[in-house]
Amino acid sequence: MSGNGAGDELYLDAASTEPVSRDVIEAMMPFLTEAYANPLSVHQPGKTAARALDAARASLAADLGARPDDVIFTSGGTESDNLAVKGIGMARMRMLRDKYGESVKPRIIVSAIEHPAVLQSVAWMERWFGVAVVRIPVDEQAHIDMAALERELAQGDMTGIDNGEHEMAGQGSGSTLALTNRTLLVSVMLANNEVGTIEPVDEIAHIAHAHGVPIHVDAVQAAGQIPIRMRDWDVDALSVSGHKFGTPKGLGALLLRGRTPAEPVLSGGGQERGLRSGTQNVAGAVALAIALHESNTRMAGQYQALTESRDRLMDAVLRVEPRAQVTGDPKRRLPGHASFVFPGLSGEALLVDLDARGIACSSGSACALGRHEAPATLLAMGFTAPVAKSALRMTFRTPLTSEQINRVAAAIEESCRLLTHTDAVALPR
């Protein structure tokens, strides 16, 4: 299957997984069949693999507005988030306690709508190291409360100290090694996976750095969909996952600037700056670089058309089903991301019925499917649990045609009518 669908099936779940392109598969093959040597080996086959790894690292960095030495290859977004939260958190916690003693009470700040990979990582830090977790609320469109973020960071400030002792020379006032705040890290999403809202991470970075705190950005949903300029935004760490932009599953990267201390989560041979031990997956690194470049190129050429088809799809759904409500920011959102709630209906039931009609989409986060839970993001946005459980997400990477939009709208209209009738019949008399 390619594009938005093949045959009678219309695939609208790209936010979960994108198909792998033929170009990516072909780029990987030489490093699976011929140039398969360990890139750390000193012989010529090893050097060939090392050159390919270096080229992939440089390409990935360029497409994310970073530098090659920022890139740490991982097994995906989950590992990248874990390494950022735990690695940076543990390193800064040790530095804080070395300077101020064991009595210091460290904190980590996250938004209320982060991915489980981040939320469970901070919960781990809380359980094993006593790190306080501060959750910043969001508004009805899933935008972070910037005033609350500023207040929480200010509460962590440690006044009356010499902030130059741990500051690296040449980094200036933006150094994230200036230990003037007991907050270990701020971690936020660039774009929300459930409702598509895009956050102003450059502003968040500015606020965090004003208090001497590094920022980690989960860019898993955003990479390949919107321009990312890690260094221009002054972001300290950034996570991406390959299967969101067209690689096989199990590939990702953490981009981590050298000014930001981190401890390894995996121990071993010391690969990837000593922060991610294990023999590097050269074919996977090549796939990451090729797929992201393809996705960025496609995005640059069709961003406007993709945005327009997204808006037409949302308008069409709202027209055929008056109960439907768009979730997230209606404009400042990912270009191929349309999300709704359907009060009075079950999102899971709607998902199953649409699938039977040849339309593959998602109900909330792909990581929560099958648990029949109210999506945490929608609860944080102020929706009640029954309404949150009616969520439906449709995501795509190429513009939808008018025929496809009309097909989706008609299917939703029929599904809503059917499910409303079914629920009415099932009610006790």
Q: Which residues are catalytic?
A: 367
Cα separation of 60 and 22, whole Å? 19
Backbone φ, ψ for residue 32 (5° rounding): -105, -20
Token pair recorded at residue 93: 């916690």
β 252-256/71-74 pair status: antiparallel
Cα dist. 180→92, 99, 163, 213, 376 in Å? 11, 10, 6, 8, 33
| Nearest by Cα to 209 from 238, 172, 263, 170 | 172
Kindly compute the dihedral angle of the four CA atoms of residues 52, 54, 60, 64, in this order, to the nearest 10 degrees.
-170
Residue type, 112: A
Cα separation of 401 and 103, whole Å? 61
Q: Measured on CA atoms in the order 64, 68, 70, 75, is the torsion positive or negative?
A: positive
3-state secondary structure of 63: helix
Q: What letter would DSSP give residue 173?
A: G
| 224 CB-near residues (< 8 Å, 6+ apart) | 244, 245, 246, 291, 292, 295, 296, 299
Cα separation of 55 and 49, whole Å? 10
> How many CA atoms lie within 13 Å of 151's alpha carbon, on the beta-carbon side?
9
First to last CA, the chain: 47
Cα separation of 235 and 256, whole Å? 9
